[in-house]
Structure 1
Amino acid sequence: MFFIICVVLLLCYFYMRPTVPRSPSCLVGKTAVVTGANSGIGYQTVLNLASRGCKIIMADVADMEKSKLDIIEFTNNPNIFAKHLDLSSLKSVRDFASEILKSEDKLDILINNAGIGTAKNNRTADGLHPVMQINYFGHFLLTHLLIGLLKKSPSGRILFTSSLVAFTNNLSLKTLNFDLEKPNYFDRHFVYGNSKLSMIMAADIFAKKLKGTGVTVNSVHPWLVKTPLFTKIHAIYKNVFFQMYIWLSQCVFGRDPWEGSQGLVHAAVSRKLKNATGKFFGDYAPWRKPLKAYNKQFCKEIWDASEIYVGLTPEERL
């Protein structure tokens, strides 16, 4: 039995290995903003885009000075800038966007990548659930605030880092901003899945609202990647069986951050995807989305509620 299990896991391992696409696009003259840029998928995405000559604005809540200098040294691209962005604060998002609007005359690529898997606290200072705010609400607001710059690009691209976990959700207007005093494992899991489904739905609606502007919007599933996100989840959950499950999943299916970043990079630079919009990409090809993402009325209700949660003014709404 053990032998059979090992064989199955090995087959799954080789089946799930990514086939890296060839997207040899030069990005000299283009500008990109990448959130969650200090580590994991975000860092590797910045490294790849920078090696193509792209000007990068690294956005993260962490101190990025060392990461920035390492990327400059590795790519010999001096146009790498680090700016503080705390997605758990709507004010920080607005301050960050204000800086970008003042310093840039256009924006070609916006990659909404930052995220967390779980949180110890149940509320941020804005009254939002931390996982929902960092993964979804913060990016929802940021994208609205930077739309003007993206429209000034000949071919602006917006990408939301989602996940297959979006298929395991209980998203509704009631759970959009989870309010649980003592959340259990399933509640925490659903919050993460809800945030990733919300990103898919937001990407779809942004794509529709921006049709004809030259700006495309897509969501991407990078697969299971060995990043600090899963390390932190592992530390918070005390259940030994869950910890073992996470460890085994990473061993068998886990990709390193460089491999995980390739889907984002491909969607950001591939000439073949120049006009692709409203898609959910997994391993460089469009995938079916969770059923709720096809419910137009439900998606609109979530969108409308999100506008209220992040405090969009009438002028900021699309």
Structure 2
Amino acid sequence: MIVYSYPFYLKYIIFAVALAIFPVFALIFLKIFQKLSAGRVRSLVCLTGKTAIVTGGSSGVGFETALLLASRGCRVIIADRTDSSKAKSKIISLTNNTNIETKLLNLTSLQSVRKFAKDINATEDRLDILINNAGVGSQGNKYTDDGLHATMQINHFGPFLLTHLLADLLKKSAPSRVIFVSSALAFCSNLSVENLNYPKGHPLNLFRTSLIYANSKLANVIAANGFAQRLKGFGVTSNSLHPGMVNTDIFMKSAKFVGLETVASLVRSVILFFYGKSIEEGAQTTIHLAVSNQLKGVTGRHFWDCRMFPAPPGAWNEKFCNDIWEASEKLVELKMEEKL
């Protein structure tokens, strides 16, 4: 009698199919979990009579943030380095709120930051919400005319100086709020006083540019906590947040500096599809920090998905944070009367 057995390679085919199927189920589960766990603004607070500044408000999460604030009746000032007239028109058409202003702010220039702040202080009676949203993923080895690494200046030094220059208006408008948009990569930094303004001449690679970005995002958390300590007695709160992995163009723009557009495109189309957030989802935590009555008086905290989250370990050491603060004051050439 002849006994037929299954081909010896069948078990390998079954194994390969199982490997292919189960990761798909895992990714689908991850997608469902991400959607269910994503934070949502529950507050119904109206912002009529309030004024907010959103840096980088002409596109991406910044635009969505400006739109959601405007929908609550807020006067919104979009501060961006590009012409924001189209963003303004779109917000007005969607919300019927015509109290939208656009102003130029180039964070790669400390002079531009000072000019913007001077204009705001001269023309605005109040400032209830300052959202330091503008940021970049990587600027390669580029340094600005101020002698600062471009990534660090856009993400940290510019907002650090801006918040100092608007502090008096925030105090006058108290209770008011300052919000720094950070990133989960703040947990993966190697920030030090020595590399706060990253030294020139370092070879460019994906790992190093990622570290510079991570350092700038930890600096955001340190700055937020520093302003919280220094402004607490004036009715001004300051907090930081991670918006999530949001499906925006920041990944593609950063990839161009290290020649990885193809890889970045793959990451965006696959990983972001399963784990990433939409732009509207990415703006939720920022809006929560800006409007929620539950956060009255809450300051010096870090948030993910509209929930309080432990700050990156790099922000735990008080002496280290003070050293970064003082070094930042020197690098942005803060005047004695501007210090808090």
Is 2:212 the counterpart of 1:163?
no
Structure 2 counterpart of 1:250? 272
Conserved 8 A contact 1:234-1:246: no
Structure 1 stretch displaced more, 66-75 or 304-313:
66-75
Alignment of 1:271-290 (within 5 A): 271-290=293-312
- Residue pairs, 1:143-182, within 5 angstroms: 143-181=163-201, 182=203
SS in 2 for 1:100: helix
Deviates more, 1:174-183 or 1:219-228: 174-183
Q: Does 1:225 align with 2:246?
A: yes
**Alignment match of 2:317 (pick from 295, 304, 307):** 295
Contact 2:248–2:279 under 8 Å retained in 1? yes
User: Which letter does structure 2 place at the counterpart of 1:276?
Assistant: V
Structure-1 residue corresponding to 2:237: 216
Match of 1:267 among 283, 286, 289: 289
Displacement of 1:3 in angstroms is: 1.0
Highest Rg: 1 or 2? 2
Rounded Cα–Cα distance in structure 2 between residues aligned with 1:161 and 1:142: 14
For structure 1, which runs of at least 5 residues remain unmatched after alignment? none
**For 1:276, what is the secondary structure of its paired residue?**
coil
Aligned to 1:235: 256
- C-alpha change, 1:129 and 1:233, in structure 2 (3 Å) is same
Distance 1:76 1:189 in 2: 41
CA apart distance, 1:246 = 4.5
Match of 1:3 among 21, 24, 33: 21
Paired amino acid for 1:249: I
Q: Secondary structure at the match of 2:283?
A: helix
Distance 2:306 2:218 in 1: 19
Q: Aligned-residue CA RMSD in angstroms?
A: 1.3
- Residue 187 of structure 1 aligns to a residue whose secondary structure is helix
What is the rounded CA distance, in whole Å, between the counterparts of 1:150 and 1:187 in structure 2?
36
- Tell me, in whole angstroms, the C-alpha distance in 2 between the residues paired with 1:287 and 1:260: 16
Structure-2 change in CA distance of 1:296 and 1:30 (3 Å): same
Q: Which secondary structure state, in structure 2, belongs to the residue aligned with residue 98 of structure 1? A: helix
- The alignment partner of 1:170 has SS state of coil
**After superposition, what is the alpha-carbon deviation per residue over 1:85-135, rounded to whole angstroms, capped at 9, x for unaligned?**
000000000000000000011110000000000014421110001110001
Alpha-carbon distance, 1:5 to partner: 0.9
Task: Write the letter of the residue equivalent to 1:14.
Answer: I
Instruction: State the TM-score, normalized to the length of structure 1.
Output: 0.97
Q: Which range moved further: 286-295 or 298-307?
A: 286-295
The match for 1:118 is 138
CA positional deviation for 1:62: 0.9
Q: Distance in 2 between matches of 1:179 and 1:247?
A: 34
Displacement after TM superposition at 1:147 (Å): 0.4
Unaligned 5+ residue runs, structure 2? Answer: 1-18
2-structure distance, mates of 1:195, 1:87: 14
Alignment equivalent of 2:217, drawn from 176, 196, 199: 196
Shift of 1:29: 0.4
Q: Distance in 1 between matches of 2:281 and 2:245?
A: 10
